[in-house]
Structure 1
Amino acid sequence: MANFSPTVRHRRLLQELRQLRGAAGLKQEEVADHLDWSTSRMTKVEGGTLRISVNDVRAMLQLYGLREGAKYEALVQLAKQARERGWWHAYSDVIPQWFQVYVGLEAEASSLRNYEPELVHGLLQTEDYARAVYQAARVMDAPDEIERHVSLRMARQDVITRSEQPMHFWAIMNEAALRRRVGGACVMKDQLRHLVEVSAQPNVTLQVLPYGIGAHAAMLGSFAILSFSEGASEVAYLEYMTGSLYLEKPEEVRAYTLTYDHLRASALDPRDSIAMVAKLVKEDL
């Protein structure tokens, strides 16, 4: 799969358009009037919940005083790329729009920092472990839908295994995620062995947050921080059962970055973490 995401292109485009509008001293209502839009539509466009056509981007650039030239052409090209369909759209029958956004961000992230308290992160899961997770968590889904979810999860792992520009993935997992037997003893032991193997990759770092640490900085739950190499702002991502939150304000991302730094300091170092996982493989689960 190509290291390309229209989702990231779309967010970069909106960031540029907001900055240009601000530099032109225009309010959303003024732009909406000029384009013969409702204010609601303008709000949705800048908020990223409504896609924008290439012609509308051209009209906005003209309004903001950006004439044809290198930057103008670059933003028009960005608008074209933002309207393309990512590979994950082939799975749109089983994943909601809010998660498609995340997969799009993940596909082009240069790095991902994640904390998981309950389970092994999806990018590190074996097929059998992933299947057991979905069978437990999606009790209303038919078997073929479960298999579609598993197939998507396996496809997503390309971001850390691809030969060109693999994502730098730093995963911190609570000890509970390693001791919770998912799918039975054999499935769990295979999963633990897989963690040892994948953590040997130079772009993957694994740490375990042991029970003995007691209270810690992420007691409120899992989260992820995605970073990008092409100028897009960092995103802190939080997921719940029926949706997700994407936090992009600098102060919000800083809060989660600080939390993650505290977790890294509290967790076992990577070498001791892998030793713990390897030891669990030999224990009775």
Structure 2
Amino acid sequence: MSNSPIGLFDSGIGGLTIWKEVVNLLPYENTIYLADSKNAPYGEKSKEDILALSIKNTEYLIKQGCKLIVVACNTATTNAIDYLRANYNIPFIGIEPAIKPAALQTKNQSVGILATKGTLSSHLFSTTSSIYASNINVTEQIGEGIVDLIEQGKLHSEEMTLLLNKYIQPMIDANIDYLVLGCTHYPYLIPQLQQLLPDNVTIIDSGKAIAKQTKKIISELALFNTNTTNIHHRLHSNLNAQLMETFVAPNSHIKIEFADF
């Protein structure tokens, strides 16, 4: 199993922000990434639908022989990872909004969270927030429409600018000094967000932390790849594989293709 790939899935191309961090930290590991763009965004779906899609993606990656699965989607993690861990004999690594470090480090006692409806309404997020952020001001904002625009290749569109201004202004008014990005699509927006936010606001996403956790689990389970001479990365999309090429520079080790999963 050590030479088998790391599997990752998301409701589209957002999880590529996690995939990049994993590849950067673990350059000798093979990977398979699933972009379930056909069903994006997950954040507006019911818990039952999110669970069903997470099961489908998990079983696809298991059939591909993956040794570990990164649920590179906040919404899928907060709604499905407990079930996945209980029902599949494979290690899972999840991702949820980094409310804990923001709450512990804020000087203004005010932080903002930009996330999907599915994440903000989940039991896991509610529990984490109540433990670490009960004594500070938290401005929550559902990023409705953001994932759709990114999946349509409209990252730098006028529509995106209007949405971000609408969503960020209440956080500026609340004098936040930390902004937590609660969706793996959102790190693509960091340059635009930095232009909108005051200089004292720190933006937090979970990419590097997830990569470190992935390395930690692989180390603990002795699953490091031993065949380092033929590394390959397979990126699968069930809607628009070409879109991934705008976010990933293809090379001889990366194969981007359509897959009907």
Q: Same fold (TM over 0.5)?
A: no
Greater radius of gyration (CA):
1
Query: More strand by proportion, 1 or 2?
Result: 2
Higher relative contact order (CA 8 A, sep 6+): 2
Provide the TM-score with structure 1 as the length reference: 0.24
Higher helix share: 1
TM-score normalised by structure 2 residue count: 0.25
